[in-house]
Chain A
Amino acid sequence: MAKVVLEFERPIYELEQKIDEIKNLSDNVDVTDEVKTLEKKVNQLRENIFSNLTRWQRVQLARHPERPYTLDYIQHMTTDFVELHGDRFYGDDKAIVGGFAKLDGQPVMIIGQQKGRDTKSNLYRNFGMPNPEGYRKALRFMKLAAKFNKPVITLLDTPGAYPGIEAEERGQAEAIARNLFEMSHLPVPIIVVIIGEGASGGALGIGVGDRMLMLENTWYSVIAPESCSSILWKSWDFKEQAAEALRLTATDLLEQKIVDRIIPEPLGGAHRNLQQAAMILKDTLLDELKALSKMKPDKLIEKRIEKFCKMGAWNE
């Protein structure tokens, strides 16, 4: 696959290319020192650029075409995964995947939105935009987990719930609302992780839990910056400003006390080292599960409802 380079990554990419060129050309000459200096420079540059990302740049990273998706994480951090299908009412939504898997030997139900990698798979996955049957499928899996007393992990990554005629006919709004309602009192631990794009109700539809975690280069908000720009600025050109105004990064949401914890990614983003990204996520999940497993279901539900009831800011 062709390497995708974001605008702000270009200086890094160019330096890396230069290093490769030197290495290739230096059959007889010793260039170790030069390469070393350049590599040091590249690392510095990368650290520099990635510690000063704007909000819009984070959004771009969250949408990076090489970014790991739900099934990538499942494959790299779990064993014995059996994918389950269908909502038992209408069909099997390919934009939401899930099933039982083992996390360090411990059975869990893992569910997430799934994007495609190329045009063909994106059409198959509907670009990660679920229809109502996707949310109902997810709810069925969660109730299955509850029945057998297994914790639920949801991975959020969607540009939104699908806005189509059939989606409305089959009750997109009802499906999302029902999930929020049911997830709020599911009697097993739920851990929610935003692994890419957390676009509004479409993401939240599988996103009510005891712990809310966010990977470092992701976003979560009520609307995508482009759409926000088109509505409030009446033009598509203010996406950078909209991203700033929405305060949609992991750091922002931690500050707003909506997210509990930020999960660091390998330098340059999760796609630079999937194996490492998955290991960090796995360790974090195990850590969180350990704490939650000690809580009684009643207490868990009480705390969960309380947690969401605290969210917001108002003057009396």
Chain B
Amino acid sequence: MTWFRRSKENIDSGNQKKEMPEGMWTKCSSCGEILHKGAVEQNLWVCPKCGFHFRIGSKEYFSILFDEGTFKEHDAKMTSKDPLNFVDTKKYKDRIKETIKKTGLHDAIRYGTGKMNKRETVIACMDFAFIGGSMGSVVGEKIVRAIDKSMKLKAPLIIISASGGARMMEAAYSLMQLAKTSAKLAQLSQKKIPYISLMTDPTTGGTTASYAMLGDINVAEPGALIGFAGPRVIKQTIGKDLPEGFQRAEFLLEKGFVDVVVPRKDLKTTISNLLSMMN
């Protein structure tokens, strides 16, 4: 007979992998259901049982939002220059090379033009898989160019965020991307071209403190973590546990910083509908 019986569940480390693992079958990291990958993909990478939204990348979002065969990517090959010759436990240069090889992406954002329900639209989408979706010079510059494209085509802009914040390895350059993107968005705003910000899991740090929060309309996916400081930092600072649901999309909706929480299957319709009334 045991003396002690664990009455509570194990402590949740909070950092379970949310990306899709390899193979035919996958397990929902929220409800634990074993799911067929094909079925999940058909359901736009949302768990059919509990509605959990798996983390996906730019490729998937472009396929969800753009009309088939209309998407054209721009500046696809732009890469970071490592302006500071940054070295921590690894050289930043090597980190970039390895990540490019591993992910097939060139940096943490891609943008392009295409049709969304027949409407010419510019979409920039971040990839969390590329160094935590961190924002450095390339992310900033590509957003500026996406905005330029929007202004030239008089087409609405959508930026999809998935990011841990600014990229440390480009130090002050990264920080300046907050100002750079926000300043450029002010230009877009003066031209009265709609900008929709879509925040996905996770959107934190400098990304939230710049373009992600500056949408004419701020949209979020259900359950997405959205905040300025990460939950761990806040917990360390105040020395208390954080309330349930803190910094989730629904929390931001409640506090007035998100206009609407939209499940993935409704994204295209809802955003198109909004744009049809704004333009």
A binds B: yes
Task: Give the interface of A toward B (CB within 8 A).
Answer: 161-165, 167-174, 176-178, 180-182, 184-185, 200-201, 204-205, 207-208, 220-223, 228, 231-233, 238, 241-242, 245-248, 252-253, 256, 258, 304-305, 308-309, 311-316
Chain B, residues 157-194, CB within 8 Å of chain A (1/0): the string is: 00000000011101111111111101111110110000
Number of interface residues of B (CB under 8 A): 64
A222 adjacent to B172 (CB under 8 Å): yes
B247 adjacent to A168 (CB under 8 Å): yes
- B202-218: which have CB < 8 Å to A? 205-206, 208-214
B213 adjacent to A201 (CB under 8 Å): no
Q: A201-B175, A233-B89 are in contact. Are A315 and B228 (CB under 8 A)?
A: no
Name the residue on B nearest A132 (C-beta). Answer: B228
A169 adjacent to B255 (CB under 8 Å): yes
A313 adjacent to B137 (CB under 8 Å): yes
B166 adjacent to A222 (CB under 8 Å): yes
A221 to B167, CA, bound (A): 11
A201 adjacent to B80 (CB under 8 Å): no
Instruction: Tell me if B277 is interfacial: C-beta within 8 Å of chain A.
Output: no
Contacts of B31 in A (CB 8 A): none
A168 adjacent to B246 (CB under 8 Å): yes
Q: A172-B209, A201-B206, A245-B84 are in contact. Are A222 and B186 (CB under 8 A)?
A: no
- B66-83: which have CB < 8 Å to A? 75, 77-83
Residue of B88, B167, B173, B228 near A313 (CB, 8 A) is: B173
B233 adjacent to A163 (CB under 8 Å): yes
A174 to B186, CA, bound (A): 15
B242 adjacent to A165 (CB under 8 Å): yes
A245 adjacent to B174 (CB under 8 Å): no
The 5 closest A-B pairs by CB, nearest first: A312-B137, A163-B229, A184-B183, A180-B182, A313-B83
A204 to B83, CA, bound (A): 21
B237 adjacent to A164 (CB under 8 Å): yes
Report 22 cross-chain contacts, Cβ distance below 8 Å, ordered by A residue.
A164-B229, A165-B234, A168-B234, A171-B213, A171-B257, A172-B228, A172-B229, A173-B227, A176-B228, A177-B182, A177-B214, A180-B179, A180-B209, A241-B88, A247-B171, A309-B183, A309-B184, A313-B82, A313-B83, A313-B170, A314-B78, A314-B79
Q: Smallest CB–CB gap between B145 and chain A, Å?
A: 10
B176 adjacent to A312 (CB under 8 Å): yes
Contacts of B50 in A (CB 8 A): none
B234 adjacent to A177 (CB under 8 Å): no
- B43-82: which have CB < 8 Å to A? 75, 77-82
Contacts of B177 in A (CB 8 A): 311-312
A288 to B187, CA, bound (A): 25
Contacts of B182 in A (CB 8 A): 177, 180-181, 184, 208
Instruction: Tell me if B140 is interfacial: C-beta within 8 Å of chain A.
Output: yes
Contacts of A232 in B (CB 8 A): 88-89, 168
A165 adjacent to B246 (CB under 8 Å): yes
Instruction: Tell me if B86 is interfacial: C-beta within 8 Å of chain A.
Output: yes
Q: Taking each of B176, B178, B208, which has the highest tally of chain A beta carbons within 10 Å of its own beta carbon?
A: B176
A304 adjacent to B172 (CB under 8 Å): no
A160 to B161, CA, bound (A): 23
Instruction: Tell me if B105 is interfacial: C-beta within 8 Å of chain A.
Output: no
A248 adjacent to B171 (CB under 8 Å): yes
A311 adjacent to B237 (CB under 8 Å): no
B186 adjacent to A184 (CB under 8 Å): yes
Contacts of B173 in A (CB 8 A): 256, 258, 311-313
A119 to B88, CA, bound (A): 35
Contacts of A164 in B (CB 8 A): 229, 234, 237-238
16 new A-B contacts, CB < 8 A, other than A178-B214, A201-B205, are A163-B229, A168-B246, A176-B228, A184-B182, A201-B228, A204-B175, A204-B179, A221-B171, A222-B171, A223-B166, A233-B89, A245-B86, A245-B88, A246-B84, A314-B141, A315-B80
